[in-house]
Structure 1
Amino acid sequence: MYRERASRVEGVVVWTRTAPERDDGPVYPVLPDGCMDLLWIGGRLSVAGPDTHAFTPDLAGGDGFADAVGVRFAPGIAPALLGVPAHELRDRRVDLTDLWPGSEGRDTAERVAAATDPAAALESAALRRMAVAGPPDPLLRAVVAGLDAGRTVASVAESVGLGTRRLHRRSLDAFGYGPKTLARVLRLQRALALVRASVPFAEAAVVAGYADQAHLARETRELAGLTLGAYAALANSETPQPSGSSTTA
């Protein structure tokens, strides 16, 4: 069972996933959403970078199926607190100790392991780092908001006072990929949110900014690895699932 809640900081979500008792249910793919996650799964503290394609998680820990907790950061937030450009983590899962050398990563893992509420402990660790890193860059938030509203890359670049080349470089560091890819990912998430709300496919496609249903279907297959019908079936299953990058192992 998957659950999530808003954190004390805007743009941060805390989630938990209770492991299944048996290996007899579907494994839900994790879809690209531009986010990055700090994860505690099976005694391992790691980071999930931004995905460019669907990722099928390994639900098993060291001794079979493992519960998992995570802190998910909206696009552009995590690189500053992790201390590494997002593009270096694109489509990767990396141990936190590889990013935080010395005692910090190890001490964080030990605190989470000893906590009665690992999700709260993981959230506190993330918020401590965010306090040091400072608030999210408002320029990056404006970029995400503009692209998520369906605006062109050129118009977003102009609105934030950057040329398209500079915006591309900033986007690689902040989001893990260029603004055109981020726009594709955000558009797909908009469309699939409508599909989850039982909006007809053709209507969901137009509202989200696709040319037509066929265009949405192609993007869903390419980015999510699923047909629209298969995604809708998963979305309507009895077990709540995350829409994006949360349950990565």
Structure 2
Amino acid sequence: MYEERPSRLAGAVVWRLTPGDDAARTVLPDGCMDLLFSEGRLLVAGPDTRAHVPEGPPRAWAGLRFFPGTAPALLGVPATELRDTRVELTDLWPAARVRRLRDRVMAAPDAATALEDIALDRAAECGRPDPLLRRLVESLDAGRPVAATAAELGVGERALHRRCLTAFGYGPKTLARILRLQRALALARSGVPYAETAARAGYADQPHLARDVRNLAGRTLGELLGG
């Protein structure tokens, strides 16, 4: 079973997953990165460009999902280095520091809340995130073209692409596709017919929606909704 709540860290989400069926374990691209804890291990989930299914038998997870583009500044590593990967936190931070954090999580009454506290402490050290990133996400999520978004933000398209690679792990066009996918899934899950979902989410037509879902999620829209 999966459950989540808004975090005290702006834009982030605290979540928990208890073992269930395989479909529930599939992670779809969403523009985010996560700090994870499972079976005594602290990990980081990099930005996905395709569906991810954890290896091995189902197990319990606790996580903090950062607002898109904000995790690299907190972790101290460009998102491009973590794209489509799950890595141990010890690969990014000193082992002694990670051991202290792991012990802190394991001793806490709730692992997910402990991850949230760790992220809040780190955010206090790093300062406020780049406000341009939130404006970028909001503009692309509203369906605005990349060129129009760059002009709106007062940033050249090449400069915007470089900043996106660092913050999101891929360029603004890929980010726009992923955000569009999430809009479509939200509409379809609420019962909106597929043709209307395609139009409202910003696809050319229903076949375009079907192709993009298959490319990014590795499954059909019907299979995703059924799962």
Q: CA deviation at 1:9?
A: 2.1
Q: Is the 8 A contact 2:9 2:116 kept in 1?
A: no
Unaligned runs of 5+ residues in structure 1 are 235-249
Higher helix fraction: Structure 1 or Structure 2?
2
TM-score, L = length of structure 1? 0.88
What residue is the counterpart of 2:116 in the other structure? Answer: 123
In 1, distance between residues paired with 2:136 and 2:217? 23
In 1, distance between residues paired with 2:199 and 2:63? 33
TM-score, L = length of structure 2? 0.96
Runs of 4+ deviating beyond 2 Å: 25-28
Q: Is the 8 A contact 1:12 1:72 kept in 2?
A: yes
What residue is the counterpart of 2:44 in the other structure? Answer: 47
Percent of residue pairs identical: 62
What residue is the counterpart of 1:163 in the other structure? Answer: 156
Q: CA deviation at 1:114?
A: 1.6
* Counterpart selection for 2:144 from 148, 151, 175: 151
What residue is the counterpart of 2:31 in the other structure? Answer: 34
Q: Is the 8 A contact 2:4 2:15 kept in 1?
A: yes
In 1, distance between residues paired with 2:56 and 2:121? 28
- Count of paired positions: 226
1:133-191 residue CA offsets vs partner (Å, 9 max, x unmatched): 11121111111111111111111111111110000000000011000000000001000
In 1, distance between residues paired with 2:119 and 2:184? 30
* Counterpart selection for 1:69 from 56, 62, 68: 62
* Counterpart selection for 1:212 from 186, 205, 208: 205
Unaligned runs of 5+ residues in structure 2 are none
In 1, distance between residues paired with 2:97 and 2:23? 33
What residue is the counterpart of 1:173 in the other structure? Answer: 166
Q: Is the 8 A contact 1:19 1:59 kept in 2?
A: no
In 2, distance between residues paired with 1:175 and 1:87? 7
1:48-67 residue CA offsets vs partner (Å, 9 max, x unmatched): 0000001112363xxxx431
Letter in 2 for 1:92: T
1:224 is the counterpart of 2:220: no
1:9 is the counterpart of 2:5: no
Q: Is the 8 A contact 1:27 1:57 kept in 2?
A: no
CA RMSD of aligned residues (A): 1.2
Q: CA deviation at 1:102?
A: 4.5
Q: Is the 8 A contact 1:31 1:51 kept in 2?
A: yes
Letter in 1 for 2:173: K
Which structure has more relative contact order (CA 8 Å, sep 6+)? It is 1
